[in-house]
Structure formats: C-alpha cells, structure tokens
Structure 1
C-alpha cells in the first residue's frame, strides 16, 4: 500500500494548480468589475474599447477552463475520499465542507457584497447590510461552485451504488491524442445542445446551466481517472501538441467576431441558439481548455524546485475563494475615483485582492474548527 507521504508528494503539484486557479478566479471577477463581459456585484464601464476587449479576452480564456478544472480536481479527489471514508462519512463530510460555506456566504458575505456595491444614498454600508440580513437576503455569488459540487457529490454517491466498480476505473490508454479529441468534441456538442435550452448568462436554480456540459464531463472524468492516477501521468508527448492547439484556437473566435462586424455593432451572439457564432463558441471552449489543462498538469508535475510559498498558500485556497467577493467589491468601491483607468485598476485592485483574500484566509483557518470546513 502506498504511504500517505508518497501520495502527498505525488499530488502536491495539484495543490499548486489549485492555488493558480483560485488566483485566476479573483482576477477574473476583478476584470469583470473593470469592463470585461460578465456578471458581478459591481461593474464599471471599460475606459476604452481596447481595454474592454483585453479584459474580455482574459475572462473568456479563463471561463473556458478554470472552473471546469476545479471540477476535474474535485472529482479526482472525490473517488479517493469515497474509498477511504465510505458512503456515509463521505456524504456528511461533503455536507459540512460545502453546505456551511454556502450558508455563510449566502446569508452573510453575499449581502455584505451587495451592501458594498449598492448602499443607497443617505445610508451606511453597515446599516444596509444589517437591513439585508434582517430580510434573510440570500446571495450565493461564487459559492454556486460549492452548491454544484454538492449536487455532483450526491450524484456520484448514488451512481457508485448503481454502477459496477469497474465503471469508475479509466485505463491509462485513455490518455491519448485521439481520446482528448473525442472528449473535446463531445464537450463542444454537449455545450451547444445544452445552450439551446439555457443560454450562457441565464440561470436556473442559481446555476448558469449553459456552462455545465464541461463541468459534468470533467467532474466525472476526474472521478473515473482517480484509481489509475491519470492526472499524474500526463506527459510532454500528450500535453505539448494540445498546448499548441489551444494557443492557435484562442484568437480564432475573436477573429471570427471581427470579420463578422461585431466591433462595428454587428450581431454576434454566442450565448446559445441555432447560430454559427453559438456553435463556434461551444466548440472553441474545449479546444482552448484541453490544451491549457494538459499543459498545467504536465508542467506543474515536472517542474523542479517549485516556489516554497506554494505550500503555504495551498491550504488557504478554499477560504480565499469564499472571502474574495466582498474584498474585490470593497476595493472597487474604495478606488472608484480611478475607475476610468481600467487596465491599471484591474492590475492594482487585482493584486491587492489576491494579497488580502489569502491574508484573510490565513486568519480564518486559525479559528477553532475552521480546518474541518476550510
């Protein structure tokens, strides 16, 4: 049997990827605040078209892979958790670790974020926050991820009872260029089909269902890849060609948009429906995402002498994810006098938000009982 030390040394690189993904979430929301396309508690108009396009490009590439990769890693460790804890403890652990943060954010930090962004003239942030909490205002915000992960975890638990054990054992042969291509095509067609029902940007039950084709596929792929430790076996031969495919794919959608006259006000609707832009966007996402994810999994694994600070940041990721929303919004409000300098403020507020989010997280995990949840 493999020792805990050997297991942790083999998966430590995945913790470093989680740190990067958490940082990207914080920067992603900061970018939306300063002019990128997307929804957020506080939004300023981009100071120039070029600034808005650059921030939107950043967010579009992020959206293609970063939350999906969170689900991939969550699925990867869900199988191990289920095997080591058993069904009952697995469920109660997920309920505690995901349910409590949802409630805390939804009834406390979500209303605080609203108050920071929308306090009416003549009131203080604190009085308006108290008013919102008094009305039991619930705002799930980025904790939709924990909500979705809780649903996926219950679905996994049920499927483990219904499906044969061997169904959850993907062979190493799945790590092939042909396998990745098939996965990307299924992802793209599934996303396009799903968005005929719920376009991106629309919610059902507090979830943007239009993005869930990739989340579902990646979570359950992670579950099935865990036994053979497939994420720890991705090599240069597989990752590098897909990295080039991703790099070449990124500008293609924006080139298509420009040629279609989107910059001149022409229609270019990618959210959903029977349109070529919607189909192009649905197929663009997996061909961007697969290369980025494979490159991260390969490069982080083989890197030598990684920055020692990664190890200190890794246990703080979930707490930083939970608390970053009011921090980003609060800094955005405090610096609104400079909101017309979109790119500069994105970099400045983004950097400050990273430091403060992880700093507050470091304090939170020292609270009694916090490590059982965070």
Structure 2
C-alpha cells in the first residue's frame, strides 16, 4: 500500500483549513522563540538582549497559551484520518518515518547547532539524566511519538460506540468546560507551577509532566475521537465567534492576574490559583476550537501560498531554533530599539529557512521523509491528510 500523502484518499478533498491551522501553530513557534531574548527582568533565555519589551513578553504569553493545544488537537484529528486510510501497520510505519527519524537524526545535529549558536560547548550542560534529558524544541515530536504509542495500545477501545457517544457530547459548545477540566486540575495540583508560563513545556526528560499530558495528550485524544464525527468541523465552524470571545476573555483575565512580564514565583494553593488555572485551561481550549473554526470559515479553499507554507512549516520549525538564537546574539548588544531588533531577527530568519526548504528539502529525500513524495500541487489533489508532522 502506498503511503504517499497525495494518494491516500482517492476522490476526497484535502482539508486546507487544517493545513493552515497546523502551519500557523508551527510558524508561531518561531515568533515565540524570537521574543524570548527580550523578556524584561532576569535572564531566562540563552540570549539576553539589552532591550526588554513587555509587549513581546505578553506576545509570548498569548502564543504559548494558544499554540500547542491547537497543534495537538489537529494532530489527533488527522492522525485518525490517516489511520483509517492506511491501516494500522502502514500508519505506524509512516509515523516512524515522519516523526521518529527527524527526532532521532535531528536531535544531535540541532542540539550541537543550538549550543554553538548560543556560544556554549555541547558539553556545557552537566547532569544529563533520564529525568533531565534536554529534548530542546523537539519535545513535540517525542510527545507525538508517545501519543501514537498510546493509540497503538488503546485504539480498539476508542472505536467503541461508547467512545463515539462521548465524542458527540464533547462537540457541544458547553463541552469546552469538561475538555479543559483535566488540564485545570493538573495545573492547580502542580506544586511548583509557574502560572505565568502556563502549561510547563515538557522539554527535559523522557517522562512528560502531568499538565502537558492533560493538555496536549487529551487534545490529541479528543482530535482522534472527533474525526469520526461527521459534524465536528461544521460545529467548530459555526461556533468560532463564541469560542474566540471566550478565548479572548480568558486570556485577558490571565494577563490581568499574572501581568505582562514573566513571573517566576509559584503560587500557593487557593482560590486565586484555581481561578487562574480554570481560566488558562478554558482559554487554551477555546483558542484551539476558535482557530480551527475560523480556518474552516475563512481558509477552507485552496491557496497556493498557504499550501506551500503548510508543506514548509515542519522543516522551518525543526531547524529554526539555532538560527533564531544566532540572530538574537548578533543583535543583542546593538543600540537599537527592541522593535527593530525583533523585526530584523524575523526578517532574516524566515527567508533563510524558506530558501533552505526550497533548495535542499522540498524535492529531496529529506522532503520525502518529512512530507511524503511530492507531486504537482493542485486544488484537487486527492488527500484528506494534512501534511507534515501533524498526522
């Protein structure tokens, strides 16, 4: 059976809206990391710029809140679609190629490159153990791999009628509350939760933290279940305004409570922590549902540029971090306004990464590993599967 993503579902239409959401989430990751050298206050990043910006730290806050829950929801949705098209054996073989190979091969290259970009020898990080292994920004691949392993174990249970009934209930507008409940509880019970940073990034160690599992793992599982519900995308499309307003309200509340600048102090148990955890969790889920619904409403048609960016976004996200850190270091001590430095970082990084994708990836074996074999792109290519890693 062929696993080329352009021949998976003959006679069906590519979900361009989900392509757009996935690309948006990955490309926002570049912007997120570019903001981190401009955090006001103590140094928290590999590079500390001479100019701090509360606006950029607030930008980080919002992007971090909405990005990865959205990504894993889309990932679970299209993973189920691909599983049904390919069958179990071909599906897991395909995921091993597209997720496992970039993780195993890419990690040592990118880790050394990141240390070099930051002016640190790769041996500078001491005390690397099972619990503190530096996954860097490739943690999302590791968490995807764990999600696929979990699916391999429990997918017969997820096909039961009871699971489908639960999925239908969770498509109701009010269901954002039970969807957010596991994340809320895990954040509230986390004893050292730095609430300004939301879901703790599981970038150290082979055992992801509980909030990451409750946030991203539950999003993946719900996406997997929701794909079987024919009305899912239509429901999210109809309710995008409601979800967007809820997301904006929760985000505003969290920023009001925590402030726009990074806050490093954990908060004790109490009503304020519970209210913040609930608002943050509801906001993260509402953003995910709103963004998918907005994409269904406004970006469901084929667009050549969006299609190209969707294909390129996986490569861009994999390779961006060393380049961004290098550029941050180059401008860190310049006597420029932070806005000019930030603009230069992005204006230099994106063309370089897009150029490298076009020249060295798109039509090469690397592109075949990441995105599948390429054929001529057109609005009618037979495919229901979003490209790249969010399968």
TM-score tier, shorter chain, comes to: 0.7 to 0.9
Question: Which residue is equivalent to 1:371?
Answer: 368
Question: Which residue is equivalent to 2:13?
Answer: 7
Give the alignment partner of residue 178 of structure 1, picking from 174, 181, 187.
174
Give the alignment partner of residue 278 of structure 2, picking from 268, 280, 283.
283
Give the alignment partner of residue 188 of structure 1, picking from 184, 189, 203.
184
Give the alignment partner of residue 20 of structure 1, picking from 18, 24, 29.
24
Alpha-carbon shift at residue 80 of structure 1 (Å)? 1.7
CA distance 1:152–1:83, shift in 2 (3 Å): same
Corresponding position: 1:215 with 2:216: yes
Cα pair 2:114 2:322 within 8 Å, conserved = yes
Q: What does 1:24-63 correspond to in 2, within 5 Å?
A: 24-35=28-39, 42-45=46-49, 47-48=51-52, 51=53, 53-63=54-64
CA distance 1:39–1:163, shift in 2 (3 Å): farther
Cα pair 1:316 1:358 within 8 Å, conserved = yes
Question: Which residue is equivalent to 1:227?
Answer: 228
Cα pair 1:15 1:314 within 8 Å, conserved = yes
CA distance 1:37–1:158, shift in 2 (3 Å): farther
Alpha-carbon shift at residue 188 of structure 1 (Å)? 1.6
Question: Which residue is equivalent to 2:99?
Answer: 98
Question: Which residue is equivalent to 1:123?
Answer: none
Q: What does 1:325-340 correspond to in 2, within 5 Å?
A: 325-338=321-334
Alpha-carbon shift at residue 276 of structure 1 (Å)? 4.8
Q: What does 1:101-116 correspond to in 2, within 5 Å?
A: 101-116=102-117
Cα pair 1:105 1:140 within 8 Å, conserved = no
Distance in 2, matches of 1:91 and 1:272, equals 42
Structure 1 unaligned segments of length 5 or more: list them.
120-127
Distance in 2, matches of 1:92 and 1:101, equals 14
Cα pair 1:143 1:322 within 8 Å, conserved = yes
Distance in 2, matches of 1:148 and 1:353, equals 26
Alpha-carbon shift at residue 90 of structure 1 (Å)? 2.0
CA distance 1:320–1:40, shift in 2 (3 Å): farther
Alpha-carbon shift at residue 349 of structure 1 (Å)? 0.8
Q: What does 1:117-156 correspond to in 2, within 5 Å?
A: 117-119=118-120, 139-156=134-151
> Please, what TM-score do these two structures have when normalized by structure 2?
0.77
Structure 2 unaligned segments of length 5 or more: list them.
1-7, 195-199, 372-391
Question: Which residue is equivalent to 2:90?
Answer: 89
1:6 partner SS: coil
Cα pair 2:49 2:333 within 8 Å, conserved = no
How large is the RMSD of aligned CA atoms in angstroms? 3.4
Q: Which has the higher contact order (CA 8 A, sep 6+)?
A: 2
Give the alignment partner of residue 157 of structure 1, picking from 152, 155, 159.
152
Distance in 2, matches of 1:224 and 1:176, equals 14
Alpha-carbon shift at residue 5 of structure 1 (Å)? 4.7
Question: Which residue is equivalent to 2:383?
Answer: none
Cα pair 1:42 1:117 within 8 Å, conserved = yes
Alpha-carbon shift at residue 246 of structure 1 (Å)? 1.8
Question: Which residue is equivalent to 1:124?
Answer: none
> Please, what TM-score do these two structures have when normalized by structure 1?
0.81
Alpha-carbon shift at residue 187 of structure 1 (Å)? 3.0
Alpha-carbon shift at residue 216 of structure 1 (Å)? 1.3
Is 319-328 or 348-357 further displaced after alignment? 348-357
CA distance 1:257–1:333, shift in 2 (3 Å): closer
Aligned residue pairs, count: 349
Structure having the larger proportion of residues in helix? 1
